Amino acid sequence: MRFVKLVSTLTLAFFVAFAQSAMAESKPIRIGIVTFLSGPGAAPFGVPAHNAAVLLFEALNAGEVPAPYQTKGFGGTQIEMVVMDEAGPPTSVATRYRQLVESQNVDMVIGYISSGSCLAVAPIAEELKKLTVFFDCGTPRIFEDASYRYVFRTNSHAAMDNIGAAKYVTQHFPEAKNIAGINQNYAWGQDSWRDFEMSMKALSPDIKITTSQMPKLFASQYGGEISALMSSRPDVIHSSFWGGDLEALILQGTPRGLFRRSKVVLTTGETALHALSGRIPDGTIIGARGPHSMFAPDNALNRWFSKAYRQRFGMPPVFTSYHIVQAILGTKAAYEKARTAAKGKKPDVKQIITAFEGLTFETPSGETRMRLGKGHQGIQGTAYGMTKRIDGKTTITNVVYYPAEEVNPPEGVRSEDWINSGFAK
């Protein structure tokens, strides 16, 4: 009799454990998505990223994304989006990150556009041991000044943008004698100007700096800075302005002749092509923070994504849209690789991290390789071109693509050291 009771108890325990396991497998994976939904960064950057995430979540859950991502959800498990606004100072962003993790119980976080946000969130993600994937912020400091286990970034950092810009300028305008900059006074703008200035000096040692303007983030009015730039008469002006600041610079600088007097490089200028169609002066050098948007390759994923986005939202996706898609697909690839290693069982965060480190995966922008930051930082190539108005529409001409190895430092080498070495292999 005791034997029968023991068998019954063990059988019941087995079925309870099995049922709990099955419930865990069927429970949606809750993913926090953080981007600008209000403020100056929302319309040009944050909302297009949010829209792309909504589109991709729905398509993944329905199994409608082309190979190699045709499996529904993440490894057959549905994914659920928990959205949070990034707007506000880094201290507020950090507080809301804790709320997202501790109160809303997300399984992982994918987010952040501002470099200030990423610098604030990264150590907290490590403290809370929560898998966090940055999709857009550009400062190289994330993995060059620190080492993280739970943090990844699937897009290239800003050194790529500014090295590529310097290569493009010296290639197309070798006669340039002096340069100037106007960049936002925080991590992104400071790093961007530093890397562009050093890259120009490495490629053209006699280049001179006339002025470097560093206004406050989202200042919106740049009359004084524009006057300083024009009076210094540089051959080339570099700007990593983004969001409303970028649009304000174009709208305020164009009538005053800033773009006629100097060749202007806008490293994030692609987003303004859609917002200010036909209003960007011809010959402006435009980047898209990688091979995104009009620079994206003709592959099955890009054909699907760009068509689906246009049909859904009535406009083309911008580079932040591509960046968040990279992050989601990279996370899906890591999750499914970890699930395979776990022989079909739901992987834990440590298994996902192991699978993510050093991962290579396909995106609408081509191949992304997690090669820097001990396998936590992605690299891609980039592209630049110049604006030209044809039949009232702004197009991009003179496009040059730069392979990933030409615009990203080797593993273990700081960006500024690599630039100062003359881009030593």
Looking at the fold, whether 107 and 30 belong to one and the same domain comes out as yes
Say how far apart CA 386 and CA 22 lie, in whole Å.
55
Whether residue 111 lies inside any domain: the answer is: yes
Q: How many other C-beta atoms can be found within 10 angstroms of the C-beta atom of residue 419? A: 26
Looking at the fold, whether 102 and 60 belong to one and the same domain comes out as yes
Tokens 């946000």 found at? 117
Looking at the fold, whether 175 and 280 belong to one and the same domain comes out as yes
Looking at the fold, whether 110 and 67 belong to one and the same domain comes out as yes
Looking at the fold, whether 62 and 150 belong to one and the same domain comes out as yes
The DSSP symbol for 425 reads -
Whether residue 30 lies inside any domain: the answer is: yes
Number of domains the chain is built from: 2
Tokens 């994330």 found at? 142
Residue from 172, 99, 100, 184 nearest 137 by CA: 184
Looking at the fold, whether 101 and 190 belong to one and the same domain comes out as no
Return the half-sphere exposure (C-beta side, CA atoms, 13 A cut-off) of residue 35: 30
Whether residue 1 lies inside any domain: the answer is: no
SS3 291: coil
Whether residue 2 lies inside any domain: the answer is: no
- Note down pLDDT in tens along the chain; length 425 residues: 554 454 455 444 444 444 344 444 579 999 999 999 999 899 999 999 999 999 999 999 999 999 999 999 999 999 999 999 999 999 999 999 999 999 999 999 999 999 999 999 999 999 999 999 999 999 999 999 999 999 999 999 999 999 999 999 999 999 999 999 999 999 999 999 999 999 999 999 999 999 999 999 889 999 999 999 999 999 999 999 998 999 999 999 999 999 999 999 999 999 999 888 788 999 999 999 999 999 999 999 999 999 999 999 999 999 999 999 999 999 999 999 999 999 999 999 999 999 999 999 999 999 999 999 999 999 999 999 999 998 878 899 999 999 999 999 999 999 999 999 999 98
**What CATH number is given to the structural domain containing 97?**
3.40.50.2300
Tokens 């119980």 found at? 105
Whether residue 303 lies inside any domain: the answer is: yes
Looking at the fold, whether 172 and 307 belong to one and the same domain comes out as no
Whether residue 4 lies inside any domain: the answer is: no
SS3 202: helix
Instruction: Tell me which residue range forms the domain holding 95.
Output: 10-158+296-379
Looking at the fold, whether 186 and 104 belong to one and the same domain comes out as no
Looking at the fold, whether 200 and 327 belong to one and the same domain comes out as no
Looking at the fold, whether 132 and 60 belong to one and the same domain comes out as yes
Read off the tokens for 74.
């993440």
Q: How far, CA to CA in Å, does 226 sit from each of 250, 276, 389?
A: 11, 19, 24
Looking at the fold, whether 284 and 388 belong to one and the same domain comes out as yes
Looking at the fold, whether 262 and 170 belong to one and the same domain comes out as yes
DSSP letters, 25-79, are HHSPEEEEEEE--SSTTIIIIIHHHHHHHHHHHHHHHHT-SPTTS-SSTBTTB-E
Alpha helices in 256-363 (DSSP H): 258-261, 270-275, 300-313, 319-341, 349-356
Whether residue 341 lies inside any domain: the answer is: yes
Read off the tokens for 364.
């609408």
CB 321 within 8 A of CB 49: yes
Say how far apart CA 24 and CA 354 lie, in whole Å.
21
Whether residue 318 lies inside any domain: the answer is: yes
